[in-house]
A = this chain, B = another copy of it.
Amino acid sequence: MDDPEPLNVGLLLFIPYRAMEARVFAGLAAAGFDDFTPAQARVFQRLAPQGSRLTELAAQAGLTKQTVGFLVDQLERAGYVERMPDPRDGRARLVRIAERGWRTIPVAAGIVAEVEAEWADHLGNRRMEQLRAILADLRTVTDPYR
C-alpha cells in the first residue's frame, strides 16, 4: 500500500529470522517438545557437544550469567540439559545436552532443513548459497564472540 522506501537491513534480517524461529517452535511442539521457549532455545542452541560453561554461554548469547543460569535451570528441570562439575575448574560446572535434549536435535534440524529448502526454492539455489556465504562472512564483523 505504501512502501516506496526500502526497509533497513536490520528489519530485513529480523523478518526471516523470526519466521524460521516460529516454524521450528511449532514443529518441536508438534513433536511433543512443547515446553521449550524461545529464550531457552537461544541458549540451548549454543551448547557445545562436550558441554559449555555458563559464563561462556552468557557471553555468546549476549545475556548475563544470572539470566542464563535461570534459563538453564528450566532446561534442566525439563530434562533437556544436565549440569556436571567441570573437571578442570572447581568453580565451574559444565552444561551438557541430556538425553531428551539430544532427541530434539534431529527434529529441529529437519525443520530447519525444510524451511531452508523452501527458501532455496523461492530464491534459487545459487542465491541461497550466496545468502549463506554473505551472512557467514558478516558474522566476522558482527559477532563479538568469534
Contact = CB atoms under 8 A, between A and B. Distances in A.
A57 interface: no
Nearest to A17: B13
> Assembly of this chain: how many copies?
2
Interface in A87-146: 112, 116, 118-119, 122-123, 127, 130-132, 134-143, 146
Interface string A68-90: 00000000000000000000000
A11 B45 contact: yes
Nearest to A113: B8
A15 B132 contact: no
* Majority DSSP secondary structure for residues of A touching B: helix
Nearest 8 interchain pairs by C-beta = A19-B142, A10-B20, A12-B135, A13-B17, A16-B142, A8-B112, A131-B134, A122-B141
Given A6-B132, A15-B142, 5 more contacts: A2-B49, A8-B20, A10-B21, A123-B137, A131-B134
21 contacts: A2-B48, A3-B146, A6-B132, A7-B136, A8-B112, A8-B116, A9-B119, A9-B132, A9-B135, A10-B16, A12-B138, A13-B17, A13-B20, A13-B135, A15-B138, A16-B142, A17-B17, A119-B141, A122-B141, A127-B134, A127-B137
